[in-house]
């Protein structure tokens, strides 16, 4: 395929050489050229030959375990009679996604074929934008052909797209208050603002993307790590609930945060702490629980020097090894007595559950709903997402089906397929914003 394209390319370019398009002021138009990560963009390409096969290739470079890695996508189109391409109108007929989706080049990014595949695109520092290179090629090229060292096909056009993790007027403030560590993101204005604590899972460390975007939507947000960060515990089993109680107390009393209650958004292991905070910390009046068992698992949890929650221990006898990684969705033997009785509080809870999550049994979300007394069920909303996997992130983030979990040192199967996962991420993000605005206003 690549060899045939190398032969065809000069023939096509005699009619449509890049220099012959140079009268166009901007042949790849991205509107807006600089945008927030959760904002849709409109991509158009002008000045191409009519009714011609073209490939749109997107590339970004991020860090994985302190090493630079590339993520790439490609989508195949046929230009119009006028020789243009409009992703709001034109269907991708092949590549890393198919169908009509103007954001497909972003959410269908995957690890470069030239590098390891068991990695995840992790967006960390909230101050640094994510830069994407967009290139247009004549012909339909696969990712392997685009990165092959012997492929001499050159792009017709190229441009750079800037995606901001936060609005320019959002302030990023490192936090070292008592035992609490993290980053405080404050929207513009004196406030006070509705407050949200944002947490992630068993990989540990600090992730900022969701927190920065929430701050860009008007929330004061504490991105709260709980292990593997600065002087916090190195191991998850050494974390105590005292840390979260202290974080809620400090954050809810901050002068920039409204004093009538805060929200918590968390995924995976962090979501278990979110339910515990909603149950035990009266300042927490809204919690979003994303893809996690509604009970505490892996290790016993202590509070005030005593055993607080007996953890459901991971039983690998029920694990399912696959070529992509380990599925542990059935590895948590439990009873309903194990569930965190968050219904005893007055907190509103939103459960977002991916149905192809290979780390969490999706049926647990419905068991939680049935455990709520009838007079409390108005406080709980459960949303299921068919075809989505475990790592449900802000919209247009690339789907990760499997990767190595650094805490466990092995590949985990997260599940899902790219297109359904993309739909779930966009819908869940809108629900998160609406839920927080409703209950923290």
The CATH number that applies at residue 427 is 3.40.50.1820
Q: Are residues 11 and 123 in the same domain?
A: yes
Tens of pLDDT along 144-158?
999 986 667 899 999
Q: Are residues 385 and 433 in the same domain?
A: yes
Q: Are residues 122 and 198 in the same domain?
A: no
Tens of pLDDT along 401-431?
999 987 788 999 999 999 999 999 999 999 9
Contact 68, 94 (CB under 8 A): no
Contact 118, 402 (CB under 8 A): yes
21 or 168: which leads in pLDDT: 168
Residue 199's domain comprises 171-440
390 belongs to the catalytic site: yes
Contact 197, 248 (CB under 8 A): yes
Indicate if the pLDDT at residue 246 is higher than 60.
yes
Q: What is the reported pLDDT for 153?
A: 84
Q: For residue 81, which phi and psi values (nearest 5 degrees)?
A: -60, -30
Q: For residue 296, which phi and psi values (nearest 5 degrees)?
A: -85, 135
* Eight-state DSSP code of residue 413: E
Q: What is the reported pLDDT for 433?
A: 99
Q: What is the mean pLDDT of residues 213-242?
A: 98
Q: For residue 274, which phi and psi values (nearest 5 degrees)?
A: -60, -45
Q: How many domains does the chain have?
A: 2
Q: What is the reported pLDDT for 64?
A: 81
Indicate if the pLDDT at residue 12 is higher than 60.
no
Tens of pLDDT along 337-363?
999 999 999 999 999 999 999 999 999
Q: Are residues 195 and 177 in the same domain?
A: yes
Q: What is the mean pLDDT of residues 5-32?
A: 53
Whether the full predicted model's pTM is greater than 0.85, yes or no, is: yes
Half-sphere exposure of 278 (CA within 13 A, CB side): 31
268 belongs to the catalytic site: yes
pLDDT band at residue 43 using 50, 70 and 90 as cut-offs? very high
The CATH number that applies at residue 34 is 2.60.40.2240
User: Cα separation of 163 and 165, whole Å?
Assistant: 7
Indicate if the pLDDT at residue 227 is higher than 80.
yes
Q: What is the mean pLDDT of residues 216-226?
A: 98
Q: Are residues 136 and 236 in the same domain?
A: no
* Eight-state DSSP code of residue 374: G
Q: Which of 357, 399, 419, 420 is catalytic?
A: 357
- Kindly state the tokens that stand for 273: 């702490």
Q: Which of 57, 289, 348, 390 is catalytic?
A: 390
- Kindly state the tokens that stand for 54: 């073209």
Q: What is the mean pLDDT of residues 130-156?
A: 90
Q: What is the mean pLDDT of residues 296-301?
A: 96
Q: Spell out the residues 6+ positions from residue 252 whose beta carbon is closer than 8 angstroms to its own.
A: 195, 259, 261, 262, 283
Q: What is the mean pLDDT of the chain?
A: 93
Q: Which of 252, 268, 327, 428 is catalytic?
A: 268
Q: Are residues 320 and 188 in the same domain?
A: yes
- Kindly state the tokens that stand for 41: 């963009």
Q: Are residues 68 and 138 in the same domain?
A: yes
Q: What is the reported pLDDT for 190?
A: 85
- Kindly state the tokens that stand for 411: 């590949």
Q: What percent of the chain has pLDDT over 70?
A: 93
Q: Are residues 103 and 186 in the same domain?
A: no
Q: Are residues 120 and 188 in the same domain?
A: no
Indicate if the pLDDT at residue 1 is higher than 60.
no
pLDDT band at residue 66 using 50, 70 and 90 as cut-offs? confident
Of 142, 164, 186, the domain-final residue: 164
Q: What is the mean pLDDT of residues 178-191?
A: 96
Q: What is the reported pLDDT for 25?
A: 52
Q: What is the reported pLDDT for 8?
A: 38
Q: What is the reported pLDDT for 150?
A: 64
Beta bridge mates, 62: 69
Q: What is the reported pLDDT for 149?
A: 64
Q: Are residues 319 and 405 in the same domain?
A: yes
Of 102, 135, 164, the domain-final residue: 164
Q: What is the reported pLDDT for 171?
A: 96
Of 115, 141, 164, the domain-final residue: 164
Q: Are residues 21 and 160 in the same domain?
A: yes
84 belongs to the catalytic site: no
Q: Are residues 185 and 155 in the same domain?
A: no
């Amino acid at each position: 395929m690549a060899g045939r394209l190398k032969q065809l390319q000069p023939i096509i370019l005699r009619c449509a050489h890049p220099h012959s398009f140079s009268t166009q002021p901007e042949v790849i138009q991205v509107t807006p050229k600089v945008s927030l990560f959760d904002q849709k963009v409109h991509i158009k390409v002008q000045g191409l030959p009519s009714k011609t096969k073209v490939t749109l290739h997107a590339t970004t470079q991020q860090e994985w375990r302190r090493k630079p890695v590339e993520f790439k996508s490609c989508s195949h189109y046929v230009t119009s009679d006028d020789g243009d391409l409009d992703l709001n109108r034109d269907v991708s007929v092949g590549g890393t996604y198919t169908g009509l989706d103007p954001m497909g080049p972003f959410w269908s990014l995957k690890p470069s074929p030239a590098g390891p595949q068991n990695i995840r695109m992790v967006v960390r520092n909230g101050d640094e934008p994510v830069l994407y290179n967009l290139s247009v090629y004549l012909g339909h090229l696969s990712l392997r052909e685009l990165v092959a060292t012997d492929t001499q096909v050159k792009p017709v056009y190229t441009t750079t797209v800037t995606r901001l993790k936060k609005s320019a007027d959002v302030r990023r403030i490192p936090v070292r208050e008592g035992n609490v560590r993290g980053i405080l993101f404050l929207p513009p204005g004196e406030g006070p603002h509705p407050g949200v604590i944002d947490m992630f899972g068993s990989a540990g460390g600090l992730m900022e993307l969701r927190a920065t975007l929430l701050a860009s939507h008007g929330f004061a947000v504490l991105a709260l790590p709980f292990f593997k960060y600065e002087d916090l515990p190195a191991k998850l089993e050494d974390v105590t609930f005292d840390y979260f109680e202290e974080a809620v107390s400090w954050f809810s009393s901050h002068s920039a945060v409204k004093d009538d209650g805060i929200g918590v958004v968390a995924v995976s292991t962090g979501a278990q702490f979110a339910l515990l905070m909603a149950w035990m910390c009266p300042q927490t009046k809204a919690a979003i629980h994303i893809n996690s068992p509604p009970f505490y698992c892996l290790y016993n949890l202590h509070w005030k020097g005593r055993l607080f929650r007996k953890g459901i221990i991971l039983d690998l006898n029920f694990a399912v090894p696959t070529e992509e990684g380990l599925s542990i969705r059935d590895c948590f033997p439990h009873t309903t007595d194990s569930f965190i009785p968050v219904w005893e509080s007055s907190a509103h809870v939103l459960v977002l559950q991916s149905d192809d999550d290979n780390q969490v049994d999706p049926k647990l979300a419905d068991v939680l709903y049935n455990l709520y007394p009838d007079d409390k069920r108005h406080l709980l909303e459960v949303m299921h997402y068919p075809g989505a996997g475990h790592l449900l992130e802000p919209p247009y983030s690339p789907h990760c089906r499997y990767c190595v979990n650094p805490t466990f040192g092995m590949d985990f199967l997260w599940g899902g397929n790219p297109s359904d996962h993309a739909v779930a991420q966009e819908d869940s993000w809108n629900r998160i914003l609406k839920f927080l605005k409703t209950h923290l206003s």
